[in-house]
Structure 1
Amino acid sequence: MADTDRKSIHGNEAISRDRRRVIFGAAGLAAAPLASILTALPAFAHHGWAGFDTDHLIYIAGTVSSDGVWGNPHSHFDVTLDSNLPAHTPELAIPEQLQDPEDSVRVNAALSYKGPHTELEIIIAPPAWSGRWGLARALEIGERVQAVGYINRTDDGLFRPVVFWFGDDAVPVNQVLGNTLPVRAPLPE
């Protein structure tokens, strides 16, 4: 039916429909960029430290207990924790990127994990970054790992290190972009 026929039957209803189409179309166009921003937020948060309790650096130690996933955007694997952790980070080599005294003192002072889990999922930088920082291969099941980092705020079984050490030689691997901790939280008391 032509618009003129609709107008004669329904009065100005056709005009109202046309206006609604224009308004809803414009609203849809305006909402599209917002929707794309909102869908990108979880990815942004995933790549940042915001989801982790950056007020408390934690030390963990144990053995790799899964093959994990090695790739982008992050690699991850499970670690079965040692049952008797020291009170805080033992004396370990600090990567060059974290040797600023404001950072190294915090890494060395990190208190040992006291949470409920005997195994944690560890999320680290992808191979391109970890390789640049000293780990050019996947870790193997049974391999020794020590780390200092943060527990996830909503999943206390997820741990993200700022530095970790692997193997019997405790080879250090930086996990932060730049030359500083993501947050210089207060030292533990």
Structure 2
Amino acid sequence: MKSTTLHTPRGIRGLRLLVAAGTAAVVALGTVLIPVLPAAAHHGWPGFETDRLVYIAGTVSSDGVWGNPHSQFDVTLDSNLPADTPELAIPEQLQDPEDSIRVKAALSYKGPHKELEVIIAPPAWSGQWGLGRALKSGERFRAVGYINRTNDGLFRPVVFWYGDDDVPVNQVLGNTLPVRAPLPK
């Protein structure tokens, strides 16, 4: 009996290889992007209550994380916050009256937490705007920014001031607030 070998035409074999490679690429891309999606929602401005700026002040209470995609640390809030943002130097990038008036008018945090987790820009950006190192536990920290929409214990500043000298640091990575919230009444 004569053995017969069936051959797949070259065009179909190439198509099968292309489909297999495409499927592998989609699966690989999915495993990379799926973990990024919650992080983007967690860290992006749309995940925060950008309709109102909030002022916080206190001391850094954890070593946190100094790195990418964002640096994070905890701040124990002062027990007696002023009604609104005290007179502090506004970073050059946010001195446009449309932005600086909003930063200066931010009302103090009145939420339930005595400590907030703070998320700031990665070291390359924070360093570019005035903070070239991790903040130290016990260091003074003041900020104006937004509370997270789904985690009211998470705060993201648009500007912050650190240390005894209240060194200002822009956090919007540009020259305007991500959203110009209405001024408080």
TM-score (norm 1): 0.80
From the superposition, tell whether residues 128 and 38 of structure 1 become closer, same or farther in structure 2 (CA, over 3 Å): closer
Among 103, 107, 112, which residue is 1:111 paired with?
Answer: 107
How far is the alpha carbon of 1:177 from its aligned partner?
1.7
Paired residue for 1:45? 41
Q: Does 1:138 align with 2:154?
A: no
Q: Which AA in structure 1 matches 2:82? A: P
2:57·2:78 contact (CA, 8 Å) conserved in 1? yes
**How big is the alpha-carbon RMSD for the aligned residues of Structure 1 and Structure 2?**
2.3
- Structure with higher Rg: it is 1
Q: Distance in 2 between matches of 1:35 and 1:138?
A: 33
Paired residue for 2:59? 63
TM-score (norm 2): 0.82
Paired residue for 2:156? 160
Q: Distance in 1 between matches of 2:39 and 2:76?
A: 28
How far is the alpha carbon of 1:154 from its aligned partner?
0.4
Q: Which AA in structure 2 matches 1:168? A: D
How far is the alpha carbon of 1:37 from its aligned partner?
9.9
Among 108, 114, 121, which residue is 2:117 paired with?
Answer: 121
Instruction: Report SS of the residue matched to 1:122.
Output: strand
Q: Which AA in structure 1 matches 2:77? A: L
Instruction: Report SS of the residue matched to 1:50.
Output: helix
Paired residue for 2:94? 98
Unmatched 5+ residue regions in structure 2?
A: 1-15
Q: Which AA in structure 2 matches 1:112? A: S
Paired residue for 2:70? 74
